[in-house]
C-alpha cells in the first residue's frame, strides 16, 4: 500500500486525514482501491463525484447511454454542453475536473451477460446505480460469483433504498436474491421514466451510497450488510430493516 503522499495530496485530503477513523492509513486504502460504478445517471452522478473527490484511486464507469435534456433534472455530473455525449465521457470529465489524481476507466456499453464477469472481477467494490431489474440481478449474481462487495441503491418517486451485500465476507449477510429472489413481473414496478422521481432524492441516495463505499474500503463504522435502509423524502423519515440470509438461496445459500 502506498503511504507516500505528495504535498498536493496531503493538502487535498487534509480533512480526511484529520479524522481518527481515517488518517493516513484510511486515505492510503482509498488510493489503492478500485471501484466500479454501473450507471452514470441519477445515482451514479453524485456517487462518482464524491468517490473521485475522496481520492479513490481507480473508478470505472459503465453506461452505454448518451445524455438527454430530461436527464439534467437529477444527473448532476453532466451539463448542457454534454447533451448528445456518452454519459461515461461526460461524467469522467467532471470527475477529472474535481480530482485529476484519480484514474477513471470508461466502459461505454451496457452491462450484459457477456461482459459482466470480466468487469466485476477487475474491481474491488461494485456499485449498482442502474434503473432496471434485469441488470440489477445480473450484476448481483456476478458479485456473488466473484466474491465482490456490492453496494446497491435504488430510487423511485420520493423514496430511496440502500443496502450492502457481501455474503463472501459476512457469513450471516444475505445476497441480493435473499431479499428479492426473482425480478418482479414486467410492468408491475414502474421505472423512473414512467413514475417520475424527485431529482434531489437521487442526490441523497447517491451520496449515501458513496459513504457506504468509503466505509467498506477503509473498514470503518458499521456495514450495511444485513440491513436495508429506506428513506421517505416526503415524511423525512429513515427506517432500517433487518435482512436475513436465505439458507435456501440458490445463489449464496
CATH value at residue 179: 3.40.50.720
pLDDT band at 185 (very low <50, low <70, confident <90, very high): confident
C-alpha cell at 199: 431529482
156 within some domain: yes
pLDDT band at 226 (very low <50, low <70, confident <90, very high): very high
If we measure between CA atoms, which residue out of 38, 145, 36, 120 comes closest to residue 87?
Answer: 38
Average pLDDT, the chain: 95
5 within some domain: no
Q: Please name the residues in contact with 46: beta carbons below 8 A apart, sequence gap of 6 or more.
A: 76, 77, 202, 203, 206, 207, 210
Percentage of the chain modeled with pLDDT above 70: 98
Q: How many domains does the chain have?
A: 1
Domain span holding position 144: 33-242
Mean pLDDT in residue range 196-211: 97
24 within some domain: no
17 within some domain: no
CA distances from 149 to 23, 58, 152, 169 (A): 23, 16, 10, 8
pLDDT band at 1 (very low <50, low <70, confident <90, very high): low
250 within some domain: no
Would you say the pTM of this structure is higher than 0.85? yes
pLDDT at 53: 98
72 within some domain: yes
Amino acid at each position: 500500500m502506498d503511504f507516500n503522499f505528495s504535498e498536493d495530496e496531503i493538502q487535498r485530503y487534509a480533512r480526511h486525514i484529520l479524522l481518527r477513523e481515517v488518517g493516513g492509513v484510511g486515505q492510503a486504502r482509498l488510493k489503492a482501491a478500485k471501484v466500479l460504478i454501473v450507471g452514470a445517471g441519477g445515482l451514479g452522478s453524485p456517487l462518482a463525484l464524491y468517490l473521485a473527490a475522496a481520492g479513490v484511486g481507480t473508478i470505472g464507469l459503465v453506461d452505454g447511454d448518451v445524455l438527454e435534456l430530461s436527464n439534467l433534472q437529477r444527473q448532476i455530473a453532466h451539463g448542457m454542453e454534454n447533451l448528445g455525449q456518452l454519459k461515461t465521457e461526460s461524467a469522467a470529465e467532471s470527475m477529472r475536473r474535481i480530482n485529476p489524481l484519480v484514474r477513471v476507466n470508461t466502459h461505454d456499453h451496457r452491462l450484459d451477460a457477456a461482459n459482466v464477469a470480466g468487469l466485476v472481477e477487475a474491481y474491488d467494490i461494485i456499485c449498482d446505480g442502474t434503473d432496471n431489474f434485469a441488470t440489477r440481478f445480473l450484476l448481483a449474481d456476478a458479485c456473488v460469483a466473484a466474491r465482490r462487495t456490492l453496494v446497491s441503491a435504488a430510487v423511485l418517486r420520493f423514496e430511496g433504498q440502500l443496502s450492502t451485500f457481501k455474503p463472501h465476507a459476512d457469513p450471516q449477510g444475505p445476497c441480493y436474491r435473499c431479499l428479492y429472489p426473482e425480478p418482479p413481473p414486467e410492468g408491475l414496478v414502474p421505472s423512473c421514466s414512467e413514475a417520475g422521481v424527485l431529482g434531489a432524492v437521487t442526490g441523497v441516495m447517491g451520496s449515501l451510497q458513496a459513504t457506504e463505499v468509503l466505509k467498506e474500503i477503509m473498514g470503518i463504522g458499521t456495514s450495511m450488510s444485513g440491513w436495508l435502509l429506506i428513506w421517505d423524502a416526503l415524511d423525512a423519515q429513515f427506517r432500517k430493516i433487518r435482512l436475513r440470509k436465505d439458507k435456501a438461496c440458490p445463489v449464496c445459500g
